[in-house]
């Protein structure tokens, strides 16, 4: 049996390794395919009216208001942009000792949270707990009630000079704009509805103050006339909304 020469074996192994290292092996090709990242287009939302802060809206439209003036004060430590003060002709009328119209003063704190549609108004009324703005838009009239916590739109039909509401919408403060309700109740449709007999029981449940005059009210038209006259002497946003709700229930 032949003996193995260990030295020769090591030498042979080294020569074989060297040959492998000298082989001209092809280099691995890297995947050079370009990765394309598709960008998702940003969706643009369109609105019929943008919402802006009450202070900005009033600055843009103040020239339209005869009986309302903004009072601006400079008090150390108070942010003038976060409070609104209005001077309004008193609904009770009268003159002061100098012969000037009597006025009421209203202060609204945290007014930055009060938003309104950026539209040109027909009228603007100030109350102790908010505002009422009336807009004309297309074939309808919109009452916009602005409270500290929200904004409420009441859609109306101009019925021979009387605003008769047919729908109400509450708008959140965290939206950028509004789209105007497209449906509309025609004058003819309201005319027919007003000729119908009124549900006096329902009226008394929804608005107890009508009970004293309920015997005089027979038709929907007579009920609407009573409510409109009542609204003319109301100076509270929540009460005005309650009466609008009552008219909506009659028209529906």
- pLDDT score for 34: 61
Is residue 240 domain-resident?
A: yes
- Tell me which of 4-18, 37-51, 142-156, 232-246 is least confident: 4-18
Does 129 score more than 80 pLDDT? yes
143 contacts 165 by C-beta, under 8 angstroms? yes
Residue for token pair 């601006």: 72
Is residue 7 domain-resident?
A: no
Distance CA 165, CA 242 (A): 12
- pLDDT score for 31: 54
Neighbours of 195 (CB within 10 A): 10
112 contacts 126 by C-beta, under 8 angstroms? no
Does 24 score more than 80 pLDDT? no
Better-predicted residue by pLDDT, 48 or 16 = 48
Better-predicted residue by pLDDT, 148 or 249 = 249
Taking only the tens place, the pLDDT of each residue in 172-196 is 878 899 988 888 899 999 999 999 9
- pLDDT score for 6: 42
Is residue 2 domain-resident?
A: no
171 contacts 150 by C-beta, under 8 angstroms? yes
Mean pLDDT, rounded, of the chain: 85
Model confidence band, residue 248 (pLDDT cutoffs 50, 70, 90):
very high
Is residue 97 domain-resident?
A: yes
Taking only the tens place, the pLDDT of each residue in 80-128 is 778 899 999 988 889 988 888 999 999 998 888 899 999 999 999 999 9
Does 160 score more than 50 pLDDT? yes
Distance CA 130, CA 51 (A): 17
Taking only the tens place, the pLDDT of each residue in 137-159 is 888 899 999 998 889 999 999 99
Q: Classify 132 as helix, strand or coil.
A: strand
The partner residues of 49 in beta bridges, in order of sequence, read 178
Better-predicted residue by pLDDT, 21 or 241 = 241
Distance CA 128, CA 174 (A): 24
Domain that includes residue 226, residue range: 49-251
Residue for token pair 């082989």: 23
Is residue 160 domain-resident?
A: yes
Distances (CA, A) of 121 to 32, 34, 155, 200: 63, 57, 14, 35
Is residue 115 domain-resident?
A: yes
Q: How many domains does the chain have?
A: 1
Is residue 227 domain-resident?
A: yes
Does 30 score more than 70 pLDDT? no
194 contacts 220 by C-beta, under 8 angstroms? yes
The partner residues of 87 in beta bridges, in order of sequence, read 69, 105
Is residue 28 domain-resident?
A: no
Distance CA 50, CA 229 (A): 33
Q: How far apart are the first and last CA of the chain?
A: 117
Distances (CA, A) of 136 to 106, 117, 166, 183: 26, 12, 15, 15
118 contacts 47 by C-beta, under 8 angstroms? no
- pLDDT score for 182: 81
With b meaning 16 or more CB within 10 Å and e meaning fewer, what string describes 142-167?
bbbbbbeeebbbbbbbebeeebbbbb
């Amino acid at each position: 049996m032949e003996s193995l020469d260990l030295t020769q074996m090591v030498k042979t192994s080294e020569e074989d390794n060297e040959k492998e290292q000298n082989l001209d092996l092809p280099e691995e090709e890297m995947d050079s395919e370009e990765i394309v990242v598709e960008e998702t287009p940003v969706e643009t939302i369109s609105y019929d009216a943008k919402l802006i802060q009450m202070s900005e809206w009033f600055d843009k439209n103040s020239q339209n208001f005869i009986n309302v003036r903004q009072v601006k004060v400079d008090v150390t430590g108070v942010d003038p942009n976060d409070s609104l003060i209005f001077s309004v002709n008193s609904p009770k009328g009268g003159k002061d000792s100098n012969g000037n119209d009597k006025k009421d003063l209203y202060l609204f704190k945290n007014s930055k949270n009060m938003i309104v549609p950026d539209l040109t108004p027909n009228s603007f009324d100030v109350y102790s707990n908010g505002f009422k703005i009336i807009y004309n838009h297309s074939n309808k009239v919109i009452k916009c009630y602005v409270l500290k916590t929200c904004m409420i739109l009441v859609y109306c039909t101009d019925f021979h000079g009387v605003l008769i509401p047919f729908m109400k919408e509450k708008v959140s403060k965290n939206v950028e704009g509004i789209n105007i309700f497209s449906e509309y109740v025609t004058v003819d449709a309201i005319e027919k509805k007003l000729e119908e007999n009124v549900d006096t029981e329902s009226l008394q449940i929804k608005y107890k103050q009508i009970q004293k005059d309920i015997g005089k009210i027979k038709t929907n038209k007579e009920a609407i006339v009573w409510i409109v006259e009542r609204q003319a002497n109301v100076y509270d946003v929540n009460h005005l909304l309650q009466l609008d709700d009552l008219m909506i229930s009659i028209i529906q």
